[in-house]
């Protein structure tokens, strides 16, 4: 009798709103939606080339003509933006290809802007894929020269924005890079080019597949003297504050999955749009487990993307962008 009375008075039943798909949709707090995605794309020279990247299953290095086709597909799937990474033919100590007028990224931007003008074009601004030593800046002895690097990053950003990039995204983790780029863009008469700052970018072990994809593995040492130390979160807030002061339009936390607490902390301290990058190694882990039959790809990917959105990211940079957009379309059909 006492037990029945207890059950009868169980007024709070959270399961009520989990009963059907429609009810769950209605009360869902964090939504995964392709309109929040940025798709990373690798561009290389050639024609008609789609070169699979072994360590990033499903991702390709595209020649510019194929890049245009892929970008059109992404746009048609409702993805508003792409983030371009160049895979240059030539490398040298000064990263000349990074800021060459007719460099691979600059040419790709012009093509994209002509063929898919409604797509936002973002570009990674860094030197590591263009230097023969593979570091993100100018090397002096065995150090990376911060201030000498700023000039090259600024030149690279201006060359991208002149070619038509909507957003440049400095990822070298040099002090003052956002301010240097903002000043250079303004001087070049490009006040409308926006900056997405890789503000809190950690020295992560999860960039391995990306470095393989873009040929940007450092030939000596590592990136720990410029990228952030993984255990730090207050330092991330300092980095974000500095980038906001220097004129960032979007701030980013990277990687995303291993740094959800950093995304949350960033969300609570800035009113700017916040991006999070679910990086190559974090993505490849899922793909590898799926290939073994150990994980269900859709469930794992949707759960991770939900977590990144729930942590507070507005924008999610993800290699799964096209797949997820396709799945959601199939579910609606
Ligand atoms: C360039 C850059 C890297 C990534 C984005 N921009 C590599 C690095 O810093 O070593 C990593 C992206 C990913 O792993 O998906 N500096």
Q: Residues 234-254: pLDDT tens digits?
A: 999 999 999 999 999 999 999
Residues 70-82: tens digit of each pLDDT: 999 999 999 999 9
Q: At what angle do helices 321-332 and 297-311 cross, to 10 degrees?
A: 110
- pLDDT, position 3: 67
pLDDT band for position 69 (cuts 50, 70, 90): very high
Nearest CA to ligand 1 atom 5: 171
Confidence grade of residue 2 (pLDDT, cut at 50, 70, 90): low
Break the chain into its structural domains and give their ranges: 31-332
Select from 169, 210, 286 the residue to mutate for testing ligand 1; criterion: most ligand atoms less than 8 Å from CB: 210
Tens-digit pLDDT profile for residues 149-170: 999 999 999 999 999 999 999 9
Whose Cα sits closest to atom 6 in ligand 1? Answer: 171
Instruction: Kindly give the distance from the C-alpha atom of residue 207 to the centroid of ligand 1, in angstroms, as a whole number.
Output: 6
pTM > 0.85: yes
- Give the Å distance between the CA of 110 and the centre of ligand 1: 23
- pLDDT of 5: 67
Residues with catalytic function: 201, 254
pLDDT tens-digit map of 101-131: 999 999 999 999 999 999 999 999 999 999 9
Does the beta carbon of 136 lie inside 6 Å of ligand 1?
yes
Please tell me the predicted confidence (pLDDT) of residue 34.
98
CA–centroid distance, 129 to ligand 1, in Å, is 10
Instruction: Using the mean position of ligand 1's atoms as its centre, give its distance from the Cα of residue 291 in Å.
Output: 24
Q: How far apart are CA 81 and CA 211, in angstroms?
A: 22
Please work out whether the CB of residue 280 comes within 6 Å of at least one atom of ligand 1.
Answer: yes
Going by their DSSP bridges, the two strands 143-145 and 37-43 should be labelled as unpaired
User: Would the CB of 124 count as within 6 Å of ligand 1?
Assistant: yes
Q: Hey, whose CA ends up nearest to atom 8 of ligand 1?
A: 207
pLDDT digits (tens, 9 = 90+) for 182-214: 999 999 999 999 999 999 999 999 999 999 999
- Please check the confidence at residue 9 and state whether its pLDDT lies above 90: no
Fold of the domain built from segment(s) 31-332: TIM Barrel (3.20.20)
pLDDT band of residue 225 (cuts 50, 70, 90) is: very high
Per-residue pLDDT band for 83 (boundaries 50, 70, 90) equals: very high
What residue's CA is closest to ligand 1, atom 10?
207
| Ligand 1 atom with least separation from CA of 85 | 6
CA of 267 to the centre of ligand 1 (A): 22
Residue 207 beta carbon below 6 angstroms from any ligand 1 atom: yes
């Amino acid at each position: 009798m006492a037990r029945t009375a207890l059950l009868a008075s169980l007024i709070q039943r959270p399961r009520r709103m989990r009963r059907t798909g429609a009810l769950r949709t209605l009360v869902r707090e964090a939504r995964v939606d392709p309109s929040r995605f940025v798709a990373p794309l690798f561009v290389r020279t050639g024609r008609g080339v789609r070169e699979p990247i072994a360590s990033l299953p499903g991702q390709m290095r595209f020649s510019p003509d194929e890049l245009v086709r892929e970008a059109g597909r992404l746009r048609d799937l409702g993805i508003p933006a792409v983030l371009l990474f160049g895979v240059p033919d030539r490398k040298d100590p000064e990263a000349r290809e990074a800021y060459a007028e007719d460099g691979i990224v600059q040419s790709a931007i012009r093509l994209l802007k002509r063929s898919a003008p409604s797509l936002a074009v973002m570009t990674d601004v860094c030197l590591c894929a263009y230097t023969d030593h593979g570091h993100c800046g100018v090397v002096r002895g065995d150090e990376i020269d911060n201030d000498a690097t700023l000039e090259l990053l600024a030149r690279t950003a201006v060359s991208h924005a002149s070619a038509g990039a909507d957003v440049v995204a400095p990822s070298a983790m040099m002090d003052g890079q956002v301010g240097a780029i903002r000043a250079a863009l303004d001087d070049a008469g490009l006040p409308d080019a926006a900056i997405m700052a890789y503000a809190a970018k950690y020295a992560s072990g999860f960039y391995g597949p990306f470095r393989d994809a873009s040929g940007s593995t450092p030939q000596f040492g590592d990136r720990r003297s410029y990228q952030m130390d993984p255990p730090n979160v207050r330092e991330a807030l300092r980095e974000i504050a500095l980038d906001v002061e220097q004129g960032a339009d979007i701030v980013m936390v990277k990687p995303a999955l291993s740094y959800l607490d950093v995304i949350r902390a960033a969300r609570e301290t800035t009113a700017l749009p916040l991006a999070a990058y679910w990086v190559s190694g974090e993505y490849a882990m899922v793909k590898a487990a799926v290939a073994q039959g150990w994980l269900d790809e859709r469930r794992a990917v949707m759960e991770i993307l939900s977590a990144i959105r729930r942590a507070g990211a507005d924008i999610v940079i993800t290699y799964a962008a096209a797949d997820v957009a396709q799945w959601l379309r199939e579910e609606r059909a």
